[in-house]
Amino acid sequence: MNQRIEKALNEQINKEASSSQYYLSMASWAETQGLSGTAVFMYAHSDEERFHMLKLIKFVNERGGKAIVPKIEQPPSDFESVQRMFELLLAHELTVTHSINEVVDVCLNEKDYTTHNFMQWYVSEQMEEEALARSILDKLKLIGEQKGGMYLFDREMQEITAAGAKNNDGVA
């Protein structure tokens, strides 16, 4: 495997692992706030990021490279509010999108069209994740400080997660 590609993919493995850990911390925080639906959503989101990492590890190794399992920094464990948490999530996803675009750029420069093709899955995944985070933030802005609204929001987060799991049934 081309060394620049291998390095870029290993950096992306690190980012996906960090995302998984970050969202795991958000899940745990939400759980301690009594927001069980939001916690279910974040736990599932953390699992998805782990899957993104695994998919990259397997690709690197299958293509003759060597995937490196990274050391992960401790993420923040407290969040001011649910809205703030989702603002951080969106900001984080935007940095991930940026790094995916950089990997795509390296693929084009190195004329590695196989990896370029593989990375397209991540490009669409990022579009979906950003759109979902924005729609959740829109809901939270509408709710504002209303307690009843928050109760319904939390329930809806559980429903979104269940619907997502159903749609992904059997898809690795």
49 touches ligand FEO (CB under 6 A): yes
Three-state helix/strand/coil letters over 47-108: HHHHHHHHHHHHHHHHCCCCCCCCCCCCCCCCCCCHHHHHHHHHHHHHHHHHHHHHHHHHHH
Number of residues that bind ligand FEO (CB under 6 A): 7
Residue window 117-136: x/- pattern of binding to ligand FEO, with contact defined by CB under 6 A: ------------x-------
How near is the Cβ of 56 to ligand FEO at its closest, in Å? 9
Between CA 157 and CA 40 the distance in angstroms is 8
16 binds ligand FEO (CB under 6 A): yes
Question: For ligand FEO, which is the closer residue by CB, 147 or 172?
Answer: 172
CA distance 80 to 58: 37
Residue with tokens 């993420």: 75
Give the residue nearest to ligand FEO (CB).
52
Q: Is 52 exposed, middle or buried (0-12, 13-18, 19+ CB in 10 A)?
A: buried
- Give the x-and-dash track for 64-103 against ligand FEO (CB under 6 A): -----------------------------x--x-------
Where along the sequence are the contacts to ligand FEO (CB under 6 A)?
16, 19, 49, 52, 93, 96, 129
